[in-house]
Amino acid sequence: MDLKASISIFLVLCMAWGAHGEVNCTATGIGRFADTSDTTCQNYTLCVLDTTTNTYSSYNYTCPTTSVFNPNTAQCTAASNYNCSSSAVCTADGYVADPDVTDCSSYIECVEIDGTFTETTYTCPDSTYFNPDTTNCESDYECTTSTDFSCTTAGRFANSTDTTCQTYYLCVEATDGSYTQYNYTCPTTSVFNPTTKVCTTSYTCTTT
């Protein structure tokens, strides 16, 4: 085998840190795809097709320290070139509140394409507010952001006071160890599964 090819294969294997559980390579095909469970936006999966067996292998990678993975270009890029806070918003197709605003003036459209979510931010018309329950901009919606929940670790957590199981919290850890909390509502008919930490239509909502 050519020496350069051998070195390249060795380096690829060294950088990969194991099989990935979030990305389904059979569904996405070959390429690089964002780890949707990573709130730092630094982890991604490389899907490789073995033509001899026609099966996929997946490898996890982490972008260099100051960079993040941009799912739109499928490359690591400077953090200033990609808004990481939005990359962890979508868990299903539909419309969700914009975590970057507190006045309910905008929302995000989530569209899944080949296993990766594309997110587009829209602004509600003047004097209207985004209602996460109806996913519409409404003039009579009362925007509320208060909650008794407090983040103590990073991740997604069910809103235990919500009997519909549609709302949840996203906790993102900052470099200083503090946490930023975002409140979300699952799209339309889906509910939040506290086990898988995603919105789904297959989970049965049970409240006590």
Q: pLDDT, tens digit, for every residue of 167-195?
A: 888 888 777 888 888 888 888 778 888 88
DSSP state of 24: -
Arithmetic mean of pLDDT over the chain? 78
Domain range spanning residue 124? Answer: 89-200
Q: Does pTM surpass 0.75? A: no
What pLDDT, on the 0 to 100 scale, is given for residue 139? 92
Both 76 and 150 in one domain: the answer is: no
What pLDDT, on the 0 to 100 scale, is given for residue 76? 92
Per-residue pLDDT of 70-122, as tens digits, reads 887 888 988 877 776 544 567 778 888 887 777 888 988 888 877 667 788 89
Both 42 and 111 in one domain: the answer is: no
* Domain end residue (candidates: 35, 50, 84): 84
* Domain end residue (candidates: 84, 114, 144): 84
DSSP state of 137: E
Both 93 and 180 in one domain: the answer is: yes
Residue 206 inside a domain? The answer is no
Residue whose entry in the numeric block shows the structure tokens 């930490």: 197
The total number of structural domains in the chain stands at 2
Q: Which one-letter amino acid corresponds to residue 29?
A: G
Q: How far apart are CA 38 and CA 44, in angstroms?
A: 9
Between 83 and 157, name the one with better pLDDT: 157
Residue 207 inside a domain? The answer is no
What pLDDT, on the 0 to 100 scale, is given for residue 12? 38
Both 97 and 196 in one domain: the answer is: yes
* Domain end residue (candidates: 84, 102, 122): 84
Residue 112 inside a domain? The answer is yes
Q: Are 69 and 44 in contact (CB under 8 A)?
A: yes
- 69, exposed or middle or buried, with CB in 10 Å at 0-12, 13-18, 19+? buried
